[in-house]
Amino acid sequence: MESPGHSAVAEAAREHERFLWGLCYRMTGVAADADDLVQETYARALATPPERKESLRPWLTRVAVNLARDHLRRRRREGYVGPWLPSPLETGDASTEASPGLDMPPGVEARLPGGGSTEGRYELLESVSYAFLLALEVLAPKQRAVLLLRDVFDYSVREVAEALNMSEVNVKVVHHRARSAMAEYDRARCIPTKELQERTRVALEGFMSALLTGDVAAAEALLSSDVRAVSDGGGQVRAAQVPLVGVKRVLTFLQRLVELRGAPEAVEVQMLNGLPALVAVFAAAEDPMLASRAVVRVELGEDGRIAHVHSVLPDRKLSRLRLPSPA
C-alpha cells in the first residue's frame, strides 16, 4: 500500500512537473537532460520524502536545481566535443505578443499551483530562445539558478532563499552578479515577436532554397558580412569543430555539406525556441559520421540579414522533436 508520503509526492509530480521540467531545461539547455533531472528529482522524493508536507514545491525546486547544478559542473569539467548549442524545443505558434490567457507549450510555461502562470524580467518565450540560453552559459550554476528563479519565474528574494537554501543577502549578491553578466544580452534582447518570426522565416526559407539549388549569389545576398556559423555535432557526427566567420567560409562549408548529404528526404519548418527553424531528415549514408537528421536555424542581425546560422545534429539533442516523414 502506498504511504501518505509517497501519495503526496505523486500528487506533487502531477502539480509541478511542467514547472520543474521548464526550470531544468533552462538550467541545462538540453531537453533530454531535463527529462533525466525531473525523473531523478522524483526518484529522490519518493526515496526520502521531505519532512514538511505543507509545501513540496520549494523542496522539489531545491532538489531539481541542485541536480542541475551538479550536471552543469560535470559538463564543464568533462568538456564538450566542438561547439555546444541548446537542444531545440518546439514552441508552436506562441509569440511574446500572445494574450495572457494563451496556454503556452509545455516547457515554456511556468504554471503555478492555482492554475495561473507567471513571468518576470524576461518573458517566458524569450527565456527559451537560443540567444537567452547561450547568454546563460557565461553564468556560474548558482548564478544561473538565482537569475532564472528571480527574473524568469518571478520568485521573491525570500522564495529563492527558501528554494535554494541560501540567505536572502546571498541571494541578492548572486542575483546582482548574474544580472551584470547578462548585460551584453540585455543590450540587444531577442524577443520573439510575430514580426521577427515572420522575417526569420522568410530569410531561412530563402537561404536554404538558394543553398540547395546552388544559387550562390542569392545565398550571399542574405548573409551579413560577418555571419557566424556554429555546428553542434557533439562528437557523434561530422561537424565544424570551431565557429566559422565570414560569408565565404560559411558558404563553402555549407555547400560541402550539401554535396555530401544531398537534399533531405523530408523537411519541415517548425517553430522552435520561439523562432522558425528547419527540421530535416536525410537518407541513410555509408559514412556513419554523417548526420541522419538536423535542425538548421538562423538569427537576423540589425541589417535584417542572417547574422548567425546554427546547425544541431546529435540524436540526443533532437530527441523531443517531431520529425517530418518522407513524402
* Tens digit of each residue's pLDDT (9 = 90 or more) over 164-221: 999 999 999 999 999 999 999 999 888 999 999 999 999 999 999 999 999 999 999 9
Q: What is the pLDDT of residues 122-179, one digit of tens each?
A: 999 999 999 999 999 999 999 999 999 999 999 999 999 998 999 999 999 999 999 9
Name which CATH class applies to 194-318. Answer: alpha beta
Alpha-helical regions (H) of the chain:
4-28, 31-47, 56-78, 130-136, 141-147, 157-164, 168-181, 183-187, 194-213, 216-221, 247-261
pLDDT score for 125: 93
Identify the pLDDT of residue 325.
85
pLDDT recorded at residue 296: 97
**What average pLDDT score do residues 1-9 get?**
59
Q: Is the per-residue pLDDT at 104 higher than 70?
A: no
DSSP 313: -
Amino acid (one-letter) located at 125: L
Mean pLDDT for all residues in the chain: 88
72: region left, alpha or beta (phi > 0 left; psi from -120 to 50 alpha): alpha
pLDDT value, residue 210: 96
pLDDT at 117: 46
Greatest CA span in the chain, whole angstroms? 70
Identify the three-state secondary structure at position 227.
Answer: strand
- Tell me which CATH code domain 4-187 carries: 1.20.140.160
Q: Where are the domains of the chain?
A: 4-187, 194-318
Q: Check residues 9 and 103 and name the one with the higher pLDDT.
A: 9
Share of the chain above pLDDT 70, in %: 87
Q: Are 218 and 234 in contact (CB under 8 A)?
A: no
| Closest to 37 measured CA to CA, from 21, 49, 50 | 21
Note the pLDDT of residue 1: 44
pLDDT of residue 9 exceeding 80? no
pLDDT score, position 53: 58
Question: 310: which strand partners?
Answer: 230, 297
Q: Which of 124, 94, 96, 127 is nearest to 112 (CA)?
A: 124
CA distance 325 to 281: 8
Top-confidence range, 90-99, 151-160, 286-295: 151-160
Which tops the pLDDT comparison, 108 or 218?
Answer: 218
Identify whether the C-beta of residue 298 lies closer than 8 Å to the C-beta of residue 203.
yes
pLDDT band at 326 (very low <50, low <70, confident <90, very high): confident
